[in-house]
Amino acid sequence: MTEYEPPAGPWGFEHPAAADAGDPSVSDVARSVSRTRGYVMTRAALLPVRGGRTLVKTSHPTDAARTLSSGTWRIPGGHQYGGHGLCGSTPCKAWRPYARAVLAPGIAQEIADRFAVGSNASVSGPAARGKLGQVWKLTTSQGDFAAKESFGPFEERDGEDAAFSEAARAAGVPTPEVFRATDGSLIVPIGEVEIRLFGWVDLREPTTEADPSEIGALVAALHRVPFRGSRPAHPWYFEPVGPARWDALAEELGAAGAPFAEDLAAYRDELVAMEELIGPPGTLRTCHRDLWADNVRTTPEGGLCVIDWDNCGPADPSQELAVVLFEFSGGDPERARALHEAYLDSGGPGAVDGSGDFSMAIAQLGHIGEIAARTWLASETEADRTDNEAWFREFVDRPLTRALIDELLDAVTR
């Protein structure tokens, strides 16, 4: 197949239509691009879009945000990030062209065989579905398991998320067990899909109202896990969107008649002012980097469970703690104080004591909002527009502001 050589320039990549390369499959193109020398996005998929161009879909959120912000690309379907809509709070999830309603017949036992987890296998569900994939309940003679199916290739393939979650589990952080296939691999291709397997944990729906003291103690335990990863720091967590991109986005939304265009225009000055607070991370350690309510869940027994470690990597624990404060305090000073005190009492290595500690929250939420809006602009169906409007409204309906930052700081530092 054709090897794509990206043109000069750090972010704007425009390729011939896929048909010019013999209409290769998306997975083939992804493998080709991942081998391309000097390509800034090390794992990517190219999708044909209208206008004879090709969309580069990356595994890293800031790359996607910058690419999208160039105005060169159209996004098919919806793309979501972590607890706040971005891949459930995860960097850049979701490509509906890959979605399927059910696994192929007979795949249950094949999964069980590849991971050596028993006989008489069956699947039910999906038990959970996101923009990037879905989770099935696999039941075998050995018990229940969570089979995670990706809509397209899994984005993170270095195994570091599994290693970090296993280290955290060994240190007492509640998280599902990771299973490996008989050949030692974490990701198993079965038919047209890729599967990862985890222990099954019954989880309640996401809530930001979990006990704040328990949340604080959990995050402290996670920040104390003795683990040194090799992933680099990523600008998604500390780089602003910037006034030029906010202005361009507001103009495009207004021209397109987006029902939330005025909401972004009203929030624009606050966003730019908050981004002036962003500072570089201080002490780095491997963090989860996705501790939104979608990924810190309560269980029917009343405990907590941390899921979706894909985006783990180096971050400042104080800045991640500030993300958790925003997410789980709901702006309530008493909840914020209880969470922060429990974190410190449990030996957490960080502390929120200045506005710069909210850098990670400001940066992440900004990129989430930008991508949500651009995904709306690229929507081709009314259903997609409705879905992506709801995603964007998560960003503006419960906004982070300088006033809220000051209130949270007052609660945890006095």
Percent of the chain past pLDDT 70, that is, above it, reads 75
Phi, psi torsion values for 160, nearest 5 degrees = -70, -35
Q: What is the dihedral of CA 303, 309, 311, 316, to 10 degrees?
A: 60
The mean per-residue pLDDT over the stretch 261-288 comes to: 97
Q: What is the pLDDT of residue 6?
A: 34
**pLDDT at residue 81 greater than cutoff 50:** no
What does the alpha-carbon distance between residue 91 and residue 139 come to, in Å, rounded to a whole number?
A: 30
Give the best-scoring range by mean pLDDT among 19-23, 102-106, 284-288: 284-288
Supply 166's token pair: 């296993």
214, 342 Cβ separation under 8 angstroms: yes
Residue 101 pLDDT level (bands cut at 50, 70, 90): low
107-199 against 212-413: fold identical: no
Q: Which of 296, 314, 294, 137 minimizes the C-alpha distance to 211? A: 296
Q: What is the pLDDT of residue 18?
A: 31
Question: Over the stretch 112-160, which tens digit does the pLDDT of each residue have?
Answer: 999 999 999 999 988 988 777 899 999 999 999 999 998 888 888 899 9
Phi, psi torsion values for 164, nearest 5 degrees = -70, -45
> Which segment of 84-88, 216-220, 286-290, 397-401 scores lowest on mean pLDDT?
84-88
DSSP annotation of 370 reads H
What does the alpha-carbon distance between residue 157 and residue 42 come to, in Å, rounded to a whole number?
A: 11
Q: What is the CATH number of domain 212-413?
A: 3.90.1200.10
**pLDDT at residue 65 greater than cutoff 70:** no
What does the alpha-carbon distance between residue 46 and residue 361 come to, in Å, rounded to a whole number?
A: 30
What does the alpha-carbon distance between residue 196 and residue 186 come to, in Å, rounded to a whole number?
A: 6
Q: What is the pLDDT of residue 177?
A: 98
Whole-structure pTM value? 0.78
239, 69 Cβ separation under 8 angstroms: no
Average pLDDT across the chain, whole number: 80
What does the alpha-carbon distance between residue 330 and residue 296 come to, in Å, rounded to a whole number?
A: 15
**pLDDT at residue 292 greater than cutoff 50:** yes
Q: How many residues make up the chain in this entry?
A: 414
> Which segment of 18-22, 176-180, 226-230, 363-367 scores lowest on mean pLDDT?
18-22
Q: Is 86 helix (H, G, I), strand (E, B) or coil?
A: strand
Q: What is the pLDDT of residue 120?
A: 95
The mean per-residue pLDDT over the stretch 323-351 comes to: 97
338, 250 Cβ separation under 8 angstroms: no
Q: What is the pLDDT of residue 1?
A: 27
DSSP annotation of 93 reads B
DSSP annotation of 36 reads S
Q: Which of 286, 128, 314 minimizes the C-alpha distance to 222? A: 286
Residue 85 pLDDT level (bands cut at 50, 70, 90): very low
CATH 3.30.200.20 fits domain 107-199: yes
- Angle made by CA atoms 318, 321, 323, in degrees to the nearest 5: 120
Q: How far apart are the first and last CA of the chain?
A: 63
The mean per-residue pLDDT over the stretch 6-35 comes to: 31
Phi, psi torsion values for 384, nearest 5 degrees = -65, -40
Q: What is the pLDDT of residue 49?
A: 28
Domain parsing of the chain, residue ranges? 18-96, 107-199, 212-413
Neighbours of 232 (CB within 10 A): 8
319, 358 Cβ separation under 8 angstroms: yes
Supply 186's token pair: 């974490």
Q: What is the pLDDT of residue 21?
A: 35
Q: What is the pLDDT of residue 98?
A: 37
Q: What is the pLDDT of residue 156?
A: 82
**pLDDT at residue 220 greater than cutoff 60:** yes
172, 164 Cβ separation under 8 angstroms: no
**pLDDT at residue 50 greater than cutoff 90:** no
**pLDDT at residue 383 greater than cutoff 50:** yes
Residue 105 pLDDT level (bands cut at 50, 70, 90): low
Residue 97 pLDDT level (bands cut at 50, 70, 90): very low
What does the alpha-carbon distance between residue 203 and residue 385 come to, in Å, rounded to a whole number?
A: 29
> Which segment of 62-71, 132-141, 175-184 scores lowest on mean pLDDT?
62-71
Partners of 188 in beta bridges: 195
